[in-house]
Structure 1
Amino acid sequence: MPPFPPIPGAPPLPAAWPYALRPALTPLTRVEGADLPGLGPGWTFVGDPARMPAGEPEGLGGAFGRGGVFRCGAAVIRPYRRGGLVRHLNGRVYPGPGRFAQELAVHRALWEAGFPTVEPLGFAFRPRLWGCEGAYLTRLAPGDPWPRTWAPEALPAVRGLLAALCAWGLHAPDLNATNFMVGPDGVLALDWDRARWTQAGDLFARYKARLDRSLRKLHAPDGFVI
């Protein structure tokens, strides 16, 4: 299995960052031969060993995405699934764990910066065919995916979250309406797969096009425009 590629660090926060910083997360530890509930043995876990889930898994029937997301105690486990046309040929095998490590690096930076998101716990991978399969772990947070409720008060909150991401120069190309959760803690953004910092100047236009397309596809109420 190839080692993790170098992952660029986050740039400095913008001067007008609207969120209060959180305490730094526990340094990452690598645990070999982990047993993940619902997924079996043989995993390499990267995260905080004290936060590894244990017990019986339960399905999250309200989750969107490509399926397979479930909870175990206070943790949510999301197996990585490929999208697009490639999913018909290769649904879950990746060349190496670098993509999983990148998501965790971005997510940890967002969490420590106080950004409204769920708490990252780590990722896991194990050999499969010519590469590896992976799973991503977060702490369970109360709430519902935005398309389940279409809460109108989420619209300005989503715009504010996107503006903050743009100010920091972070582009999450897969972010769509199903990646926002509305609950007692307000609106939280989920899923940082393939997110990267960039100096591109059209980030808000990219986010708006992606979100507006998602809102139309999911039949959001009239007037729901980013």
Structure 2
Amino acid sequence: MPLRPLGCRLNLELPGMGGGWRVCTPGGIVPTGDPLPLSGAFGRGGILRVGDLVLRPYRRGGLLRHVNERTYRTHLRFAAEHAIHRGLWEAGFPTVEPVGYAWRASGLGVEGVLITRLADGEAWPRRWELSTDRGGDIRRLIGSLCEWGLWAPDLNATNVILPANGGALMLDWDRARFEPAGQDLWPRYRARLERSLRKLGAPAEAFAVMAAAPHP
């Protein structure tokens, strides 16, 4: 589904996040309404639902988060993620609708917010019992990324959404990049996802999703 071009507006308020934001969204729309914590969300905190939109602040992971949790050198990382996400959406990849991003000055850099449409479904770790039924859907998602040569280093089980009516959606394209042709990404994705499953204490049927086939 083609999306409208982004329009950027300056010095705006975001619900629950204060002012001073540069908001880049289709037509320059700005989320309005009462902010609520997003029920059932995984992440490092601060994820808000505003109507049918989700505002997800950028947060660093790993050891770096203890030194600098939310400040980035420039806004280009946010723009790059949105560009990849938008391309996947317009190509028909099963993901949530990308709406835009926002950023503002913070210390010696900037902080950012990713804005997406609310997805109907629950994160995979909250629905382990569906692993057997949805395993093929999850494998096909990752198989498509392998065929396109797109490496998403932050792929975790928590970024797989299982809608109530079937299928699977994938989130989080931060630092995603296209790799040179000829690389086999399947083993890297399998190792990345299995690491996530171990940390989450997933049942055996969840591990079988990636181990069941060398490549869809």
Above 0.5 in TM-score?
yes
**How many Å apart are 1:34 and its aligned residue?**
1.6
Paired residues of 1:51 and 1:121 also in contact (CA < 8 A): no
Within 2, Cα distance between the matches of 1:71 and 1:140? 8
Q: Does 1:215 align with 2:193?
A: no
CA RMSD of aligned residues (A): 1.2
**Structure 1 partner of 2:96:** 118
The equivalent residue for 2:160 is: 180
Q: Alignment identity in percent?
A: 53
Q: Which runs of 5+ in 1 are unaligned?
A: 1-21
Identify the match of residue 190 of structure 1 among 167, 171, 180. 171
> How many correspondences in the alignment?
204
Q: Is the contact between residue 35 and residue 41 of structure 1 (CA under 8 Å) also seen in structure 2?
A: yes
Larger fraction in helix: 2
- 2:214 aligns with none
User: Structure 1: how far apart are the matches of 2:199 and 2:27?
Assistant: 40
- Within 5 A, what are the aligned runs for 1:74-223? 74-150=52-128, 151-152=130-131, 153-183=133-163, 184=165, 186-199=167-180, 201-223=183-205
Q: Distance in 1 between matches of 2:64 and 2:79?
A: 21
The structure-2 alpha-carbon separation of the partners of 1:75 and 1:83, relative to structure 1 and needing over 3 Å to count, comes to: same
Give the TM-score normalised by the residue count of structure 1: 0.87
Give, in whole Å, the separation in 2 of the partners of 1:196 and 1:91.
23
TM-score by structure 2 length?
Answer: 0.91
Cα pair 2:156 2:193 within 8 Å, conserved: yes
Deviates more, 1:163-172 or 1:147-156: 147-156
The unaligned stretches of length 5 or more in structure 2 are 211-216
Letter in 1 for 2:125: P
User: CA offsets per residue over residues 22-70 of structure 1, 9 Å max, x none?
Assistant: 2x11011111112110101110011214642101101013111111111
* Cα distance in 2, alignment partners of residues 69 and 154 from structure 1: 26
The residue type paired with residue 179 of structure 2 is T
